[in-house]
């Protein structure tokens, strides 16, 4: 009888661990999906804005920083006021009319998603 109780205890502990791991995987998957969608939106806005830096900032609702641009999000990846844990960071570099934007979605110090997008804007 003791062996049966011990067996069921082990099996129930394993089931609880599997459910906890499934929850963690779901949360991480949602973070990745949300961060990648916001990064792709930023990439499209970057390309659509052309040379108009102000239009890009307005389209994304970003703030200018020393390193580039940043936009903050709440836990559901909805835009938030002020600094929060989740953010989108964009660094733009220019070389002979080719603009490169490194776009990254972060949660705390962890990089969730990153992409690089380039566009050619001839000098006027």
Domain ranges of the chain: 2-120
Q: What pLDDT sits at residue 80? A: 87
Sequential pLDDT tens for the chain (124 residues): 788 888 889 999 999 999 999 999 998 899 999 999 999 999 999 998 888 888 888 888 888 888 889 999 998 888 888 888 899 999 999 888 889 999 999 998 899 999 999 998 877 6
Residue pair 118/100 in contact by the 8 Å Cβ criterion? yes
Q: What pLDDT sits at residue 53? A: 82
Q: What pLDDT sits at residue 81? A: 84
| Cβ partners under 8 Å of residue 18, min gap 6 | none
């Amino acid at each position: 009888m003791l062996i049966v109780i011990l067996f069921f205890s082990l099996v129930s502990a394993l089931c609880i661990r599997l459910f906890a791991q499934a929850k963690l995987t779901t949360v991480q998957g949602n973070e990745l999906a949300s961060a990648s969608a916001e990064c792709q939106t930023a990439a499209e806005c970057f390309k659509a804005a052309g040379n108009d830096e102000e239009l890009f900032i307005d389209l994304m609702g970003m703030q200018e920083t020393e390193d580039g641009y940043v936009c903050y999000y709440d836990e559901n990846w909805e835009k938030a006021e002020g600094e929060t844990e989740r953010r989108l960071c964009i660094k733009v570099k220019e070389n002979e009319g080719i603009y490169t934007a490194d776009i990254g979605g972060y949660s705390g110090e962890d990089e969730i998603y990153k992409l690089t997008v380039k566009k050619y804007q001839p000098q006027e």
